[in-house]
Structure 1
């Protein structure tokens, strides 16, 4: 290309940019005279220089076409369910913090359940829904596992083309960081030796889930060279598939130079009731608790340790109590939660867990003793001790301050079968109402069993009729929308009208309750319809 003036240099272009930024009254453009015509001259010069710069460029080679996405062999989503997915992924009405939500279902909160149900049925996601589905998973990490399972291989293909969706490649087998399979020993070794920390954690967890011994042996090959914080994370992966064969490795970790690593190793060993550490803890804890038969009623006596010696510290007992906690009670609690629960019937006269828990405890040690046994029952997954510590749901201590807090009861419930868990919480609600039940409801299987669902609806109705402050029950109402069995929707028909408000009721409470019950009923009917749109679940699947 021939021009009447040489091609512009980078410095000439920079001069024009500088003049534009400073203003032509402070910097005259190159080749122009100062004055009122300078701005026009600057624009003319910039236009000419732009044309020259573009004329000097050569077109690049076209990028190769991407390989087609892998075929998704799963059956297509039924048409009605595909339309439902589009609605769930579209802009959804929702409540602002503390605001009234109206009577419409909260579609955002139904999406996780819908994804669980569709994955149980094995359908493939419609191609047109994948961008919105990936955007939703990017915004909500809790959605990612189910959303990526539903999205399938085409989501990975899209994620390679859009940096905003790269999380899918990191989170999904088959992405850029796909983990090697059982037969890929060379790839496994290379990734373990050279991979990023997150990749190595994922690799160890994957191997541990299918071959616990192989994962532990792999970890042992580099254990001495790992950083303390990395050793802690790797050791935590041994919780999956924890077994007596892990004991020699964990015993060695008790001598680790990191206090946190030692504490985690001790915790894992104490979850193995047959381990040597558990036996040592049983001896120490047994020396702290005894039955006093000299009183009218047999009573538990507690003598907490007077020191934390080097052997106790090596076995994971932290010597330094947190602020506001006595050292002796701190050491005592750690010993008891690490001791096998099977220690106590033999130590305390052959009594059952229920009989032991029922014994009075001298000198105000009841709360400390029972709290430590709660932690032990959760750690050792001991349902018999959990039942004893929970007690009857109607007991006075279950609904207020007592030896076992509601947070501890929620953890204890997690050791029980789902049906028994639901029955206990239903009894708790029937006896004590809903004000303290939110934590307990959160550990119950979804959908709630019929007795639990009825107990929740009945308690909400009682609270409404009593003129209770309605917004204090919004959390339970939200749980009911997601967890109540849709078959219970017919029981709500009598609760949809605005009730007469007692004189001492909160202003507007009746309208709020009616609105909340209307939303609950509509949500349950919508969940039932969503399940119908998907068709029957596969054997062992879960509905909405």
Structure 2
């Protein structure tokens, strides 16, 4: 029960200090309470308010009910699986259920609309997926409750209109759409509003120029290097570093050519004594790097601003040879970390053959000299930029290198499960390593929990084989989590099959 503020004040302070006011309850109840004895008015008011709220009320103006035109709702079996998820049985699979329904062109079952609308709050990550599957009836229903209003279909607005009147997130999306349609016009719109934009808006809007980035953006980005906010300057530096042929690139190359020299197969490094104003403006030394000295951090910043393909051309070397040169230097961690960051940025803007070659070489290197360089951590977020066959090639290599934990972590971020061959290889690697364990390994336990959501679930027979042998010392530690993994896998199998069943 939610009491009106005036009535709550009377209850807390007492009628002697805060008498019951005539407007302590809603106007609709004031007539009913007019005949209440003065000494009982406070209690009658509380009772009437409680009954009023529990009884509910009709909207002041109810929209006409949505037409009952037939919509392609999911099969009954899939609806039953959704009900299980909403009741708390494998709730982590809701996003996969919604993704499967969207892929197959189904709308949400009508009986599930209210539970889903209640579940998907304005901050829920699945709000957009639910809104896309609600259908006409769902959008009509959402319009009847103010708490669900954010899920209602909004009138279509042009990108230009949203850019002028939308919230910040809408303006960012509008700017990206405008960049796709007319990059020059979008840049002009941003330039026109830039001076009067608050700092938080500038921070959010500038990265939108990554869409259709070109040399036409250079002059504006150079001005952004002098912005008062560090986050804006960092975005400008990253965008300029992704553009070949800019003054920013020339300044970065000049610094590195003065600092690096290859002689007789050895990389010699001479770092500057001071950080001049131009270096500061371009972001050199802007952030501290954990475990590195100040000048090593400068070197990292300088290297990450240059595209990796430059070193292949400059030193007439393959990516593997460049990596070996840097790994043999006294500043190997700074050099290789900068190189890895540059490769991650490059693949985000350029998926040419040599860019992919650099990415593949770095992420699949198995060199102990680079143990302090978090190569996989830095590059994995960009794996989605590669063609599917190269993604699978990397996953297969990780499994072969006994680094299958990387494969599990990456697969957990994908919207689709692993292929059947990769699933079989991955599970075999897990069983092989588990059989060799003699103590409890917490990373193994975490990876096992994730396996149930990433393995191929079309046919689960392969997943039941190979467990366990009598000579597995650590099996008692993992029996329960393996059972949980198998339960998740079987649930996903049932969910997938449910969408293929014919409607009654």
Classify the TM-score, shorter chain.
Answer: 0.7 to 0.9
- Alignment of 1:110 with 2:93, yes or no, is yes
Name 1:87's counterpart in structure 2: 84
CA distance in 2, matches of 1:67, 1:460: 57
Cα deviation digits, residues 103-156 of structure 1 (max 9, x gap): xxx2x1222111111111222222332111222322872212222111144444
Deviation at 1:272, TM superposition (A): 1.4
Deviation at 1:524, TM superposition (A): 4.6
The 5-angstrom pairing of residues 487-502 of structure 1 reads 487-495=458-466, 499-500=469-470, 502=472
| Alignment: residue pair count | 464
The 5-angstrom pairing of residues 430-449 of structure 1 reads 430-434=400-404, 438-442=408-412, 446-449=416-419
- Could you tell me which runs of 5 or more consecutive residues in structure 1 were left unpaired when the two chains were aligned: 1-13, 30-42, 55-59, 94-105, 536-544
TM-score between both structures, scaled by the size of structure 2: 0.79
Q: 1:63 aligns with which of 54, 60, 65?
A: 60
- Alignment of 1:216 with 2:187, yes or no, is yes
CA distance in 1, matches of 2:423, 2:459: 7
Q: 2:422 aligns with which of 452, 467, 471?
A: 452
**Is the Cα contact below 8 Å between 1:308 and 1:319 reproduced in 2?**
no
CA distance in 1, matches of 2:327, 2:136: 60
Deviation at 1:82, TM superposition (A): 2.7
Name 2:274's counterpart in structure 1: 307
CA distance in 2, matches of 1:257, 1:478: 46
Q: 1:356 aligns with which of 322, 328, 345?
A: 322
3-state DSSP class of the match of 1:80?
helix
3-state DSSP class of the match of 1:523?
helix
Q: Which has the larger radius of gyration?
A: 1
CA distance in 1, matches of 2:143, 2:447: 41
3-state DSSP class of the match of 2:233?
helix
3-state DSSP class of the match of 1:287?
helix
**Is the Cα contact below 8 Å between 1:470 and 1:512 reproduced in 2?**
no
**Is the Cα contact below 8 Å between 2:340 and 2:362 reproduced in 1?**
yes
The 5-angstrom pairing of residues 124-203 of structure 1 reads 124-138=107-121, 141-169=124-152, 174-175=153-154, 178=155, 180-181=157-158, 188=161, 192-203=163-174
CA RMSD of aligned residues (A): 3.9
**Is the Cα contact below 8 Å between 2:449 and 2:484 reproduced in 1?**
no
CA distance in 1, matches of 2:307, 2:69: 50
Cα deviation digits, residues 499-544 of structure 1 (max 9, x gap): 5365x537x3363265245425523532441342489xxxxxxxxx
CA distance in 2, matches of 1:19, 1:511: 57
CA distance in 2, matches of 1:162, 1:360: 61
| Pair 1:453–1:342, CA change in 2 (3 A) | same
TM-score between both structures, scaled by the size of structure 1: 0.73
The 5-angstrom pairing of residues 135-534 of structure 1 reads 135-138=118-121, 141-169=124-152, 174-175=153-154, 178=155, 180-181=157-158, 188=161, 192-293=163-264, 298-319=265-286, 321=288, 325-348=292-315, 350-359=316-325, 361-381=327-347, 382-392=355-365, 395=366, 397=368, 401-411=371-381, 413-434=383-404, 438-442=408-412, 446-467=416-437, 469=440, 472-495=443-466, 499-500=469-470, 502=472, 505=474, 508-509=476-477, 511-512=479-480, 515-516=483-484, 518-533=486-501
**Is the Cα contact below 8 Å between 1:72 and 1:154 reproduced in 2?**
no
CA distance in 2, matches of 1:324, 1:433: 25
3-state DSSP class of the match of 2:446?
helix
| Pair 1:197–1:143, CA change in 2 (3 A) | closer
